A = this chain, B = another copy of it.
Amino acid sequence: MEIEIGRGKRARRVFSFDEIGIVPSRRTRDPEVVSTNWNIDAFHFDMPILGAPMDSVVSPETAIALGRLGGLGVLNLEGLWTRYEDAQPVLDELAALDGSVSAIKRMRELYNAPIQPELITQRLKEIRDAGVTVAGALSPHRTQEHYETVVKAGVDLFVIRGNTVSAEHVSSETKAPLNLKKFIYELDVPVIVGGAATHQAALHLMRTGAAGVLVGFGGGASSTTRATLGIRAPMASAIADVAGARMDYLDESGGRYVHVIADGGLGTSGDLVKAIACGADAVMLGAALARASDAPGAGWHWGQEAHHDDLPRGNRVNVGSVAPLEEIINGPAHVADGTANLMGALRRAMATTGYSDLKEFQRIELVHSAK
């Protein structure tokens, strides 16, 4: 759907979760006879939920807890746990900060502590020792420096996550950019990479050999890329576009299925449902999990762009504490606002609309509503 903005300038109409919905149709089903299984590479998950590699969301402890609940916690390998032997006092200090400018300055100081490779090794070992699937994330510009440590420490899934990750990065002459295709080819570990927000960007990432692509660009609760950079990638359209790229790449590659993981702007169980309905295979949750009373953020939520040195593009936001992680995931919910029992809600949404598994549910018809 192209529209004309002015003489010779066109724009594509794109849609956010707020503008769409699913609607029950001819058949219904009991929630008990619905499957939410998700498999990527050799790994099986009971639910299609990844904890985002953000310090307010995933600590080694919550990565373990999420894994035991059937999902996957992705640890941020350049956050507080790999900069501090004991991250708790830093988290405690952060929890006591307000949203002022001086708080941002203090965050910058706290994140200025150097990343210690031996802590990367140690944190990943803590998770592995608990017997759950191990996943860690680096940003593209730190990948080259630290990936060997990560691989040596042992990860099941390697995540390269930035606001925007492209297969074709142009650097200044003094820096050699990460060659994603070569990197992924040589690595012995499946890689999930993103964010990408368009069909074309995702297709190029798929061609690098990635096992999964993260869809999104700063759409989360803590992001302000819209005001700061003018960038806008509403999730419903972004996911549908990348799911389209998955299909095109499946064809072009003669059968390689790259997983589409919605990342950002998934604040409620309703959003999670819509992400799958738009074509996502799984979702990476930030604020939704930061609301757990046992989340490391202690009621606050922030991404790395909140304490950027000269151009912060996100806020540290107070999301509150709703319930323990287990209740956030599996209920029982005591509130009716989509913040708890995410999996119960997904199962019921699938059941009410008559679907039995996630792959089938991706094909549900959508409605678009303006109010």
Q: Which A residues are closer than 8 A to B by beta carbons? A: 1, 3-30, 32-33, 101, 104-105, 163-172, 175, 177, 196-201, 204, 217, 224, 226-234, 236-245, 247, 268-274, 277-279, 305-306, 309-315, 331-338, 341, 344-345, 348-349, 352-354, 356, 365-371
Contacts and interface: CB of A to CB of B under 8 A. Distances in A.
Contacts of A104: 334-335
A12 B20 CA distance: 9
A199 B7 contact: yes
A232 B21 contact: yes
Contacts of A279: 6, 9
A288 to B, nearest CB: 12
Q: How many copies does the complex hold?
A: 4
Contact of A166 (B21, B273, B354): B354
Nearest to A247: B8
Contacts of A305: 336
A247 B7 CA distance: 10
A244 to B, nearest CB: 3
A238 B349 CA distance: 18
B228 A336 contact: yes
18 contacts: A3-B13, A5-B368, A6-B243, A11-B367, A12-B366, A13-B367, A14-B367, A16-B371, A20-B232, A23-B232, A24-B196, A24-B231, A26-B198, A26-B200, A28-B170, A32-B172, A226-B270, A311-B345
Most buried by B among A13, A104, A279: A13
A9 B240 contact: yes
Contacts of A22: 229-232
B243 A338 contact: no
B9 A5 contact: no
Nearest to A205: B26
A253 to B, nearest CB: 17
Given A228-B337, A311-B341, 11 more contacts: A5-B20, A5-B236, A7-B241, A7-B245, A23-B197, A27-B166, A28-B170, A227-B270, A228-B268, A229-B345, A234-B369
B278 A5 contact: yes
Contacts of A32: 172
Contacts of A334: 101, 104-105, 312
A337 B224 contact: yes
B370 A370 contact: yes
Contact of A231 (B18, B199, B201, B352): B352
A15 B3 CA distance: 10
A189 to B, nearest CB: 23
Nearest to A224: B336
A336 B306 contact: yes
A337 B98 CA distance: 17
Contact of A227 (B24, B27, B239, B338): B338
